[in-house]
């Protein structure tokens, strides 16, 4: 992989992260913590869990570039894949999750603007691995994690509407 190709991939990655982040902000605009805890009448995650899951995965993105995760291990367990449904008592405040997303976004972009192609072509240490990422480079892991984030960002539109918002924001 050439330096130019990696640079272009990183710029595309940052652009997608920024777009995802903007969509999250739009979908959460006007909603409060109670809205995020709305339980649907069928099997689905609450908006709070989806936002927390995105935040938890941004911590995995930070790990992929040797950054420090923002959630504690206990907080991350609430929002990890396969976790029990979030309860009103366990859920992190929506505002805290949004702050986490903002901080992680800034840290990721700052880190990616400092690293070189060799760093992104490395395969991180074993302790930094998310299941299924064992043979992937840092950049490949970031790309996979961003795809995953985009999937969940798409769920926010329906979860917003379930709160009664009944609007068209995008």
Encode pLDDT of 100-142 as tens digits: 999 999 999 999 999 999 999 998 776 555 566 668 999 999 9
Number of domains in the chain: 1
For residue 100, being part of any structural domain is answered with yes
Structural domain of residue 45, as residue ranges? 3-162
Q: What number of other Cβ atoms are within 10 A of residue 130's Cβ?
A: 18
For residue 144, being part of any structural domain is answered with yes
For residue 81, being part of any structural domain is answered with yes
pLDDT tens string 11-36: 999 999 999 999 999 999 999 999 99
What token pair was written down for 155? 């769920």
pLDDT tens string 133-169: 668 999 999 999 999 999 999 999 999 999 999 999 8
Supply the CATH number for residue 129's domain. 1.20.120.450
What token pair was written down for 139? 């950049």
For residue 86, being part of any structural domain is answered with yes
For residue 170, being part of any structural domain is answered with no
pTM above 0.85, yes or no: yes
What token pair was written down for 105? 């976004």
CA 23 to chain centre: 12
For residue 168, being part of any structural domain is answered with no
Reduced 3-state DSSP string for 147-166: HHHHHHHHHHHHHHHHCCCC
pLDDT tens string 51-97: 999 999 999 999 999 999 999 999 999 999 999 999 999 999 999 99
For residue 152, being part of any structural domain is answered with yes
For residue 68, being part of any structural domain is answered with yes
């Amino acid at each position: 992989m050439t330096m130019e190709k990696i640079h272009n991939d990183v710029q595309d990655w940052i652009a997608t992260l920024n777009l995802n982040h903007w969509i999250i902000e739009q979908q959460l605009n006007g909603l409060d913590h109670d809205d995020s805890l709305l339980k649907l009448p069928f099997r689905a995650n609450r908006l709070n869990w989806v936002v927390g899951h995105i935040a938890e995965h941004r911590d995995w993105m930070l790990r992929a570039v040797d950054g420090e995760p923002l959630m504690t291990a206990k907080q991350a367990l609430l929002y990890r894949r396969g976790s029990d449904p979030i309860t009103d008592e366990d859920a992190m405040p929506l505002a805290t999750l949004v702050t986490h997303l903002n901080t992680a976004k800034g840290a990721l972009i700052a880190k990616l603007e400092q690293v070189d192609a060799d760093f992104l072509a490395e395969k991180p240490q074993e302790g930094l691995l998310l299941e299924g990422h064992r043979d992937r480079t840092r950049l490949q892991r970031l790309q996979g994690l961003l795809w995953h984030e985009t999937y969940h960002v798409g769920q926010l539109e329906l979860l917003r509407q379930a709160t009664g918002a009944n609007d068209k924001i995008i």
